A and B are shown apart, each in its own frame.
Chain A
Amino acid sequence: MGMTHIVDRRLNGKNKSAVNRERFLRRYRHHIKKAVSDAVHRRSITDIERGESVSIPTRDIGEPVFHHGQGGHREMVHPGNREFVAGDRLPKPEGGDGQGQGQGQASPDGEGMDEFAFQITQEEFLNFLFDDLELPNLVRKKLKDTETFSYVRSGFSTQGVPAKLDVIRSLRGAHARRLGLGGARKKKIRELEAQLAELRTAPADLDAAFSHEDQIKVLEDEIARLKANVKRIPFIDEIDLRYRQHLKQPKPATSAVMFCLMDVSGSMTQMHKDTAKRFFILLYLFLRKNYKKIDVVFIRHHTSAKEVDEEEFFYSRETGGTIVSSALKLMHKTIESRYSPAEWNIYAAQASDGDNWNDDSPVCGRLLTEHILPLVQYFAYVEITPQDHQMLWYEYERVQERFPERFAQQQIADPSEIYPVFRRLFERKAA
């Protein structure tokens, strides 16, 4: 009989399956990407704090092996007979290809599960989301680190690095300890010394058994012992040491408001809008990293502009022409009434297919340079079209010359081109 060895493995890593899980996600990245894509469609752009549930058809992830099919002759033994006797015949279920229970190959789980569902984490969700956008890893990381931290003092602890030793606290503690350990003894010493003095001054006694010399000797010995005891109490001990403790706290950040401006005229298809949505999500993620509180204002326009909620912003259809300046005017009005630049960091992202009434483009340029850009941190414009630039683009080019710091524009034919706009943003921030 062998002996038993008991091991506590609970502190060993628990993520032994992480690599295998990653392999699985990698193998089915196309399925997952599609699920993420659908989710982006469904979700609000501010709703990026969670992962997503993904399901894949079971047949796509099967591991095939040779097995028996239906048909032929089989016999199965089952438990729980109640009324059958040998020779009984039982009707087969309709369809004619029924077979004995417990032999079904179709679903090992016993239920008709044809979907394999699982959860991906927020991080994985963002990874798959950014996969299309070809963000470099560094930027991904920046986007996912949501907060910056500062260290604040938060009391004292008994452990720490020497650099954080608090001398006054430590010495105060040592003093208290010395008092606590030695106080009673010192008092006793004082009492004994008083007795001793009294004895020394008293007249000699006649009782030889308790002569003065003996009594003095006893007292002196006791005083010496107590003094030695007191002396052994260390001046400072390890338990007296106190270290200043610091706590990581999210940096108090100021507020930001993000304006999403989008052309919803007839020429903007749902594909355009989805591309724009990704662009807005990126901007939102970026802002969230830097600011504690973020307001999002959705302004859509065709020939006139309107502030709407997100659902209406992305998913209602309009027809008709385009007057971009209407949106810029509304944005300016909204800033003046609700978002004082003294309190808010203002960002704006505008998406359009580039269409505008030609007469209107110079108006837009003027609005931007004279009224809006002096107030905002950054204004990004994306033109979502594979075709040639339109009038608005050339007008905006002039704006960019005047405000290279805070205005960027980019043409996007494909989601992978969204990133360059953002690179400028990040570069500016890193500087």
Chain B
Amino acid sequence: MSDAIDRPDTAGSESPATRKPVSIGSEWTFALIEKYDEEIAKCAAELGLDTYPNQVEVISAEQMMDAYSSVGMPVGYNHWSFGKQFLSTSKGYQRGQMGLAYEIVINSNPCIAYLMEENTLPMQALVIAHACYGHNSFFKGNYLFRAWTDASAIIDYLVFARNYVSECEERHGVDTVEQILDSCHALMNYGVDRYKRPAPISAANEILRQEEREEYLQRRVNDLWRTIPKMDEDEDAVLRKKRYPEEPQENLLYFIEKNAPLLETWQREIVRIVRKLAQYFYPQRQTQVMNEGWATFWHYTLLNRMYEKGLVTDGFMLEFLQSHTAVVYQPPFNSPWYSGINPYTLGFSIFIDLRRICEAPTDEDREWFPDIAGTDWVKTLHFAMANFKDESFIQQFLSPKVMRDLKLFAIEDDDMEDSYKVTAIHDEPGYRELREKLARQYNLSYREPNIQVWDVDVRGDRSLTLRHVPVDRVPLGKDTEEVLRHAHRLWGFDVHLESVEEGIVVEDYHCPHAPPPGS
């Protein structure tokens, strides 16, 4: 029945004649959802999935739009940008231009997953397998999530943040708070330490230490800006040469929170809230392919397992496979529907192929993956899920077969050339290069400009200088001036941004003023 799709190993499956399906119809009930969840949980346990407890919430389409609009946060502070998101979502949905996401799942403990009441029973089962067992086990197992987020504290923290922001609105006015939030959002992608492991978010601590921190923060800022008694010329010269910060800082929001001269304490706290949210979302931004691939692999595998056990009907499988096929469809580059590589397709293809390499390796696989070929697939897949992010995952596990199946090719676009150049395709000489290029595409610093805090003129006009290091001569986009205005609002004094290539400033932006010449 599933000829259209490459099914993984079906050896040992019982003949469909012995099936005793959980249900026949496509209408769901709470009892049936419970029953399906029970069976899916059994299959997941057999295959070694380790998850947080699940909290499945059945909601209406309108509620799904609400959830959708708050970027998946079950509780969020109020901001116009979420309203904008809501308006465009509801418009798209009402006009039938787009379906709603089948599911939203929250990285929390217990893991919250939303089921839409409009879904049919097979869809509900798919979502349960995908979200409650796929994503859930990824949240619990992947090293980035383990290091960066604390699933048991996030909901409390979001409640804290919401209350804090609304208190600020009462005290300081909606507009004032909105301005600070706008500015923080503009820098949100630069609110993360990429290399240092931060302390996970904890709401209890936040509230407990908030007052303490207010005092401490203000003291620190004051220390930095304290007027230093006049010293003799030599010492002054040394001080002037020394940059502050001594090392470039990549976490702009952190730097602003701790050092901006004029921010009031509540404003620092809001910077901190946005920064903490950026940190919470950071692992998701880096594991999209893996996370979706993993969840898709598991809904596919778990529901096929149900079928093997005779727990679901042929009709159920047909409906499920139809949705599955749509999810993993990859339009080719020249299709009108093409909008880049579909992360579901890429991730799913790699995980499925990894299982194949474990179970039925070819000579090519033995050559490319000597450590993996022929090993236990459950262990190998769990290892791959736990210890990588998109970039390293692709670098490590993208096989020649997947490159051939997806017919990947690399195009070079150089503004100094008159034509595009095909640099590698899915053939023997191209595999390694192609894999490297695709992996790099998922490197965050390749996708977003590398901008760091370079210097603060502590003893002069207090201006802040940011430094952009272009990769492959790619310049900054057209929002740059606008973002700089936001940085200026937070910093309170002049903000400069320089693009520096090999020690030469190739482009500079200033808000509001350029520094006096010769400084």
Contacts and interface: CB of A to CB of B under 8 A. Distances in A.
A23 interface: yes
B87 A24 contact: yes
Interface string B27-62: 000100110011001001100011111111111101
Interface string A101-122: 1100100001000001111000
Interface string B301-344: 00000000000000000000000000000111111001111000
A66 B422 contact: no
B412 A75 contact: yes
Contacts of A85: 422, 425, 427
Q: Interface SS of chain B: helix, strand, loop or mixed?
A: mixed
Interface stretch (B4-12, B183-191, B223-231, B357-365): B183-191
B83 interface: yes
B236 interface: no
20 contacts: A4-B55, A16-B66, A16-B70, A20-B81, A65-B479, A66-B449, A68-B476, A72-B475, A78-B333, A79-B406, A79-B408, A85-B427, A86-B423, A88-B421, A90-B411, A91-B419, A92-B418, A92-B420, A116-B88, A117-B91
A86 B475 contact: no
Nearest to A78: B333
B425 A86 contact: yes
Contacts of B261: none
A7 B57 contact: yes
Contacts of A86: 422-425, 427, 429-430
A63 B186 contact: yes
Given A17-B83, A19-B78, A65 B483 contact: yes
Contact of A99 (B58, B413, B449): B413
Give the most central of A1, A19, A79, A99: most B CB within 10 Å: A79
A87 B422 contact: yes
A74 B412 CA distance: 6
A7 B63 CA distance: 14
A67 B70 contact: no
A163 B473 CA distance: 82
B413 A8 contact: no
B60 A4 contact: no
A16 B60 CA distance: 12
A102 B420 contact: no
Contacts of A15: 62, 66
Interface in B403-455: 406-416, 418-427, 429-430, 434, 437-438, 441, 448-449, 451
A99 B472 CA distance: 14
Nearest to A90: B420
B480 interface: yes
A42 interface: no
B475 A69 contact: yes
Contact of B86 (A17, A65, A105): A17
Contact of B83 (A1, A3, A24, A88): A24
Interface string A55-66: 000000111111
B69 interface: yes
A68 B449 contact: yes
Contacts of B65: 17
B285 to A, nearest CB: 13
Contact of A27 (B178, B411, B424, B486): B178
Given A4-B41, A6-B30, A64-B186, A17 B419 contact: no
A90 B409 CA distance: 13
B110 interface: yes
B386 to A, nearest CB: 17
Contact of A71 (B66, B335, B415): B415
A72 B470 contact: yes
A80 B333 contact: yes
A81 B59 CA distance: 42
Contacts of A14: 60, 62-63, 66
B56 A88 contact: no
Interface residues of B, number: 104
A5 interface: yes
Contacts of A69: 474-478, 480
Nearest to B336: A110
Contacts of B190: 66
Interface string B458-492: 00000000000011111111111011001000000
Contacts of A175: none
Give the most central of B30, B49, B63, B448: most A CB within 10 Å: B63
A9 B51 contact: no
B195 interface: no
B84 interface: yes
A67 B117 CA distance: 38
A25 B335 CA distance: 37
B332 A24 contact: no
Interface string B123-167: 000000000100000000000000000000000000000000000
A5 B472 contact: no
B419 A63 contact: no
A26 interface: yes
Interface in A120-137: none
A4 B37 contact: yes
Contacts of B70: 16-17, 20
B366 interface: no
B305 to A, nearest CB: 15
A84 B84 CA distance: 42
Contacts of B79: 20, 23
A75 B87 CA distance: 35
Contacts of A70: 415, 475, 477
Contacts of A209: none
A77 B53 contact: no
A100 interface: yes
Given A66-B477, A80-B332, A102-B338, 15 more contacts: A3-B54, A5-B53, A65-B188, A66-B189, A66-B451, A67-B477, A68-B448, A68-B476, A70-B477, A78-B408, A79-B341, A81-B333, A85-B427, A91-B420, A105-B477
A69 to B, nearest CB: 4
B36 to A, nearest CB: 10
A1 B44 contact: yes
A12 B483 contact: no
Nearest to A106: B478
Contacts of B83: 17, 19-25
Contacts of B434: 77
A61 to B, nearest CB: 6
Give the most central of A16, A63, A69, A81: most B CB within 10 Å: A81
**9 closest cross-chain pairs (CB), A and B:** A80-B332, A2-B53, A24-B83, A72-B474, A20-B83, A72-B473, A64-B479, A64-B482, A78-B333
